[in-house]
């Protein structure tokens, strides 16, 4: 029995070790490259460590790309919430004809490969002189951002008991007042979770930004792509780390605000 218990413990430890290796293995490689000043084949580890490339990157154009990425992601998040909060509430609270079809339509851009979808969109944006501009990139980000927001927020509003709103209406409150004083305050945690999902999507979006924004709009993912294509491994690794850190922090908050009752109603028509 003792041998069997020890074997189980050993297998458990090995399982944890494998999981940690899968998660942190690629990250450790990025960290090593970001600190490597000299690393040549066939050496397993860098021959010389230092912060030379960190100083070079942080004093270069990457700072502009970082601010531009956050600027675009904030605009996309605010516009998405402005569009989807009232729409989600209407879909959650009313028996709208073809409600399932409406929700499915929001999924269509994600149902097909992004490249042909964004390429066709680029043709339209060329006609409006939006290619190579921040508004054009914001619009292409909204294509995917609306999916995350609408499906999340519909679930959020469905999780709020209808009886609370009915009680307020029974004592004379208008539907508009019920929305702003009962539905909206109760939906705040879900709205925060949806906004974080949208912000992360916009911050990391690559394909649409490359097609619509190039060559004038260089966000962090585009900057990382260009440096990686030029085999500037140190610069690309530093860019990846800078892009990864906000995501890790925001995912912690998503886990905090994304409640189980939202997921219970997710996807229901």
In a structure prediction context, what are the per-residue pLDDT tens digits for the chain, which is 269 residues long?
566 677 777 777 887 777 777 777 777 778 888 888 887 777 777 878 888 888 887 877 788 888 999 999 999 999 999 999 998 888 888 777 766 667 666 666 666 677 777 878 888 888 888 888 999 999 999 988 888 888 888 888 888 888 888 888 888 888 888 888 888 888 888 888 889 889 989 998 988 898 898 788 889 888 888 887 777 788 888 888 888 887 777 777 766 666 554 444 444 55
Residues 6+ apart with CB under 8 A from 5: none
pTM over 0.85: no
Q: Of 149, 22, 151, give the one whose Cα is nearest residue 79.
A: 149
Residues 6+ apart with CB under 8 A from 215: 132
Asked if residues 196 and 158 have their Cβ atoms less than 8 Å apart, the reply is no
Topology of 61-264 in CATH? Answer: MetI-like fold (1.10.3720)
Residue 81 is inside which H or E element, if any? helix 62-93
Residues 6+ apart with CB under 8 A from 106: 146, 147, 150, 151
* Cα–Cα distance, 258 to 189 (Å, whole number): 7
Please state whether 131 falls in left (phi above 0), alpha (psi between -120 and 50) or beta: beta
Place of tokens 């501009």: 133
- Give the start-to-end residue ranges of the domains of the chain: 2-50, 61-264
């Amino acid at each position: 029995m003792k041998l069997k218990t020890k074997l189980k413990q050993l297998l458990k430890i090995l399982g944890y070790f494998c999981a940690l290796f899968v998660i942190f293995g690629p990250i450790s490689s990025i960290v090593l490259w970001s600190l490597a000043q000299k690393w040549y084949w066939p050496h397993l580890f860098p021959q010389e460590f230092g912060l030379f490339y960190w100083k070079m990157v942080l004093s270069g154009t990457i700072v502009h790309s970082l601010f531009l990425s956050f600027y675009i992601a904030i605009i996309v998040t605010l516009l998405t919430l402005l569009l989807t909060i009232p729409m989600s509430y209407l879909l959650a609270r009313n028996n709208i004809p073809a409600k399932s079809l409406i929700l499915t339509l929001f999924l269509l851009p994600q149902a097909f490969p992004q490249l042909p979808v964004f390429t066709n969109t680029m043709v339209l944006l060329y006609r409006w002189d939006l290619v190579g501009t921040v508004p054009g990139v914001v619009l292409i980000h909204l294509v995917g951002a609306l999916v995350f927001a609408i499906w999340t927020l519909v679930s959020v509003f469905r999780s709020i008991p209808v009886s609370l709103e009915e009680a307020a209406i029974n004592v004379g409150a208008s539907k508009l007042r019920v929305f702003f004083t009962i539905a909206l305050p109760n939906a705040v945690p879900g709205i925060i979770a949806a906004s974080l999902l949208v912000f992360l999507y916009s911050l990391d979006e690559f394909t649409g930004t490359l097609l619509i924004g190039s060559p004038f709009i260089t966000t962090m993912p585009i900057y990382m792509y260009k440096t990686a294509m030029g085999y500037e491994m140190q610069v690309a690794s530093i860019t990846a780390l800078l892009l990864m850190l906000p995501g890790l922090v925001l995912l912690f908050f998503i886990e905090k605000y994304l409640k189980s009752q939202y997921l219970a109603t997710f996807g229901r028509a």
